[in-house]
Amino acid sequence: MATYQLKVNGKSHTVEVDPTTPILWVLRDHLQLLGTKFGCGITQCGSCTIHVDGTATRACQLPVSSIGNSEVTTIEGLSENGDHPVQKAWLEHDVYQCGYCQAGQIMTAAAFLKSNPNPSDEDIESTMAGNICRCGTYTRIKAAIKSAAQSELS
């Protein structure tokens, strides 16, 4: 066991965990931030996507010991009132079905739009290809990302 000072969603937290514990389980089990989901456990589905210093990162295999002084943002910290442009676009385009993958989808899209505010369809498809939606809402996800990009440009 080791003690870690983590910066999550703008707040400091102290946790005592095994250094190899994935940050996903620290977030869910120790900090009670349940929006980040466990999907595949091998970084392939994207359900566990968080931001580490603004970069979309899979949390299921990332050991807490590798976080250091990095700022971690979860879906709960993306915006205080759920009014991030990507979150608003998700609602506008009725993207959710079962909703399980959507936090990871939103976190991936938000980081993507920060680095590419005017993406092409190919850019969106390429970036989001690593996020699996078992309900198949890919067309609505792409439309929502395009809308969010337009609202960011407005």
User: What structural domains does the chain harbor?
Assistant: 2-78 (3.10.20.30), 85-153 (1.10.150.120)
pTM: 0.95
Q: Could you report the per-residue pLDDT of 25-41, keeping only the tens digit for each?
A: 999 999 999 999 999 99
Rg of the chain over Cα atoms, rounded to whole angstroms, equals 15
User: Above 70 in pLDDT, residue 3?
Assistant: yes
Class of residue 118 by CB neighbours under 10 A (exposed 0-12, middle 13-18, buried 19+): exposed
Give me the residue label for tokens 């996800």: 141
Would you state the pLDDT for residue 153? 54
Q: Mean per-residue pLDDT for 48-75?
A: 98
User: Above 90 in pLDDT, residue 20?
Assistant: yes
Would you state the pLDDT for residue 152? 63
Q: Could you report the per-residue pLDDT of 59-70, keeping only the tens digit for each?
A: 999 999 999 999
State the average pLDDT for the chain: 96
3-state secondary structure string across the chain: CEEEEEEECCEEEEEEECCCCEHHHHHHHHCCCCCCCCCCCCCCCCCCEEEECCEEEECCCCEHHHCCCCEEECHHHHCCCCCCHHHHHHHHCCCCCCCCCHHHHHHHHHHHHHHCCCCCHHHHHHHHCCCCCCCCCHHHHHHHHHHHHHHHHC
The residues with which 22 forms a beta bridge, in sequence order, are 63
Distance (Å, rounded) from C-alpha 75 to C-alpha 124?
20
The residues with which 57 forms a beta bridge, in sequence order, are 50
Q: 151: pLDDT confidence band, cut at 50, 70 and 90?
A: confident
Would you state the pLDDT for residue 69? 96
The residues with which 63 forms a beta bridge, in sequence order, are 22
